[in-house]
Amino acid sequence: MNTDAEVMRHFPAMLSQEESDAFVDRIEDHWRAHGFGLFAVEERASGDFIGFIGLAVPRFSAAFTPCVEVGWRLAHNVWGQGYAPEGAREALAFGFETASLTEIVSFTSATNLPSQRVMEKIGMRHDPAEDFDHPSVAAASPLCRHVLYRLRRDNWAPQR
């Protein structure tokens, strides 16, 4: 999935096998450190791995960090089937109900309209004044500018 150009088009680069393996190691370390993280997602019918959805603490500094982010990355052959909003809602429920978080954010490149639609579907709100240049993306890249969405626990309505 991390070598699929369509999946990775809103990221600065595709990941090599070594980089993907290191990413999995970071996911496992995150679970140990925080008690939450990214869940593997399987397709219902086949049981095939189709991506991940969950909560993560970003590893960079910005005006809105420290924070907890809800995020997802799914194989492109399952896009549009409802996995992202369904899984993100479950991650929000875990974050607010189990982990007792007061706020969860999400962010993506300004060009990633499908992910922004998911953020809106799950009840997150965008304030253009909070958009930012991602510190890990080259300033000249069209992916540098990011949008930030927020959801506070007191504005969250479970949609399960």
DSSP-assigned letters across all residues of 40-90: EEE-TTT--EEEEEEEE--SS--TT-S--EEEEEE-GGGTTSSHHHHHHHH
Domains identified in the chain and CATH numbers = 17-155 (3.40.630.30)
Report the SS3 class of residue 93: helix
Q: Compute the distance between CA of residue 55 and CA of residue 38 in angstroms, rounded to an integer.
A: 6
- The predicted-structure confidence for 126-139, as pLDDT tens digits, reads as follows 999 999 999 999 99
**Residues 6+ away with beta carbon under 8 Å from 141:** 12
- The predicted-structure confidence for 139-152, as pLDDT tens digits, reads as follows 999 999 999 999 99
pTM here? Answer: 0.90
Pairing of strands 69-74, 132-133: unpaired
Q: What is the pLDDT of residue 12?
A: 66
